[in-house]
Amino acid sequence: MVTKLTEKASINTKNIINDFPHQGPSTRSVHINRQNNPYHSVTEPIVQAATYHFANTEDLCAFMEANICGKDTGRDEYGRYGNPTISAVEKRLAGLENAEDAVLFSCGMAAITTVLLTLLPTGSNIIITDDCYRRTRQFCSSFLQRLGISCTVVPVGNYELLESSVQPNTRLLVSESPTNPYLRIIDLERFIAIARGKNIKTVLDATFSTPLNMRPLDWGVDLVIHSATKYLGGHNDIMAGVAAGSSKLVKELRENLGILGAIADPHNAYLLLRGIKTLGLRVAQHNHSGQAVSQFLERHPKIERVWYPGLPSHPDHITAAKQMNGFGGVVSFTIKGDLETTSRFIDAVKIPLIGPSFGGAESLIEQPALQSFYEFSTEKRQSIGITDNLVRLALGIEDTEDLVADLQQALDQV
């Protein structure tokens, strides 16, 4: 009897329970694509294993044959090609994105670079928007050129130029929504229409929106990417990346992941899965604080301008309202003053910590001219829209009233 129970539990290890496709965001975050495990534990176990054994040669050959045929074997062979804890996270993320499949990476940049290396052959062209993450732009404009892949950069929101920039060898359109740091919103209908009219694939980095505020695949995007380090993890304590889309595309990415080696760690995957379970609660608070703080800042006499998609003054507010369920917890704004004035304001706040990144429980604040673009000259920073008085505030899950009060006292000091 003990043997039969053990065998049954083993068989159920990969069973997926997906009874929550139409429930609310918190229910989906906790339960969608939940997997049984042989220990009947509520939380998915950490399988800290680099290699997996087979009962006998017949068992091994059956596994190899199934792999060749593309069948799900329900087990793993070697840590670089799969892990039960990582698989549990991938299934959860695929469910949240309404994707057929998803693949986990060691960080967001690993997801981006693997996607681009997989989808872009030598001699092809990629088009990206100018407000993409600076490391993405750097990879496209410098590293890919070494492989004979050209990169065209177009201003975000200029769809006429985007379409006219398509060349016979263009294979990919890449953008972000919202973008960093000005939170521009891509009109997904126009973006996808251009790509489909030219038989080009689309990739969107949706880290700022999370799968709860926007699901690009529902609009027709081919692949969506997240830096899971941010909102998905939610606690500033892990690094991970994810790409989600069709089974066909994700299969190609997973095969190349096994070659390139940017695999996630099982313990990090467990922490990510734990973070995802509170995603609905956290995103609701981020959205609430983002709207309240942006409205407060826009009314303040010492603030020059605020960028937040939830404000009617944002250039893409109408598009954001059509595509998004909420507008996130990042607010960018400029102080009325110079570099030193802005630094005094940042030093005066008490709740946000000075640092890069966003999406965690703690609020973070940065002066991009001195954080992400410190090595750039003033002229070069200004040419790409990074002014000395620009501030990016990544709101955490602290009480909204406390955040507003803290910003008020800091502004009183400049």
Domain assignment present for residue 42? The answer is no
Are 242 and 112 members of one domain?
Answer: yes
Residue finishing a domain among 240, 268, 296: 268
Last residue of a domain, one of 268, 291, 326: 268
d(Cα 13, Cα 20) in Å, to the nearest integer?
Answer: 19
Residues 158 and 178 in one domain: yes
Q: Quick check: is 343 in a domain? A: yes
Residues 231 and 290 grouped into a single domain: no
User: How many beta carbons lie within 10 A of that of residue 107, not counting itself?
Assistant: 18
Instruction: Give the model confidence (pLDDT) of 143-158 as tens digits.
Output: 999 999 999 999 999 9
| CB neighbour burial string for 357-378, b if at least 16 within 10 angstroms, e if fewer | ebbbebbbbbbbbeebbeebee
Whether residue 256 sits in one domain with residue 156: yes
Asked if residue 286 and residue 234 are part of one domain, the reply reads: no
What is the pTM for the complete model shown?
0.91
Q: For the chain, what is the HEC assignment?
A: CHHHHHHHHHHHHHCEECCCCCCCHHHHHHHCCEECCCCCCCCCCCCCCCECCCCCHHHHHHHHHHHHCCCCCCCCCECCCCCHHHHHHHHHHHHHCCCCEEEEECCHHHHHHHHHHHHCCCCCEEEEECCCCHHHHHHHHHHHHHCCCEEEEECCCCHHHHHHCCCCCEEEEEEECCCCCCCCCCCHHHHHHHHHHCCCEEEEECCCCHHHHCCHHHHCCCEEEEECCCCCCCCCCCCCEEEEECHHHHHHHHHHHHHHCCCCCHHHHHHHHHHHHCHHHHHHHHHHHHHHHHHHHHHCCCEEEEECCCCCCCCCHHHHHHHCCCCCCEEEEEECCCHHHHHHHHHHCCCCEECCCCCCCCCEEECCCCCCCCCCCHHHHHHCCCCCCEEEEECCCCCHHHHHHHHHHHHCCC
pLDDT value, residue 378: 77
Which of 268, 297, 327 is where one domain is finished?
Answer: 268
Range of the domain at 374: 280-411
In a domain, 403, yes or no: yes
| Beta-carbon contacts of residue 293 (< 8 Å; ≥ 6 apart) | 331, 393, 395, 400, 403, 404, 407
For residue 94, is it within any domain? no
Q: What is the pLDDT of residue 46?
A: 92
- Spans in the chain with pLDDT lower than 50: 1-13
Same domain, 186 and 297: no
* pLDDT for res 10: 38
Neighbours of 60 (CB within 10 A): 13
Q: Mark whether 289 and 404 lie in a shared domain.
A: yes
Q: 4: how many CB neighbours lie within 10 A of its CB?
A: 8
In a domain, 275, yes or no: no
* CB-neighbour burial class of residue 178 (10 A; exposed 0-12, middle 13-18, buried 19+): buried
Instruction: Point out the residues that are catalytic.
Output: 80, 133, 205, 230
Counted domains in the chain? 2
**What's 308's domain CATH number?**
3.90.1150.10
Let me know whether 217 and 123 are in one domain: yes
Residue 33 covered by a domain: no
What is d(CA 120, CA 86) in angstroms, rounded to the nearest whole number? 26
Give the pLDDT of residue 38: 83
157 lies in the same domain as 260: yes
Q: Which residues contact 288 (CB under 8 A, 6 or more apart)?
A: 400
CATH number of the domain bearing residue 138: 3.40.640.10
pLDDT digits (tens, 9 = 90+) for 255-265: 999 999 999 99
Q: Is residue 154 part of a domain?
A: yes
Distances from the Cα of 320 to the Cαs of 214, 232, 270, in angstroms? 9, 21, 32
Whether 234 and 284 map to the same domain: the answer is no
> Is the same domain home to 234 and 291?
no
87 falls within a domain = no
Q: Are residues 401 and 376 in the same domain?
A: yes
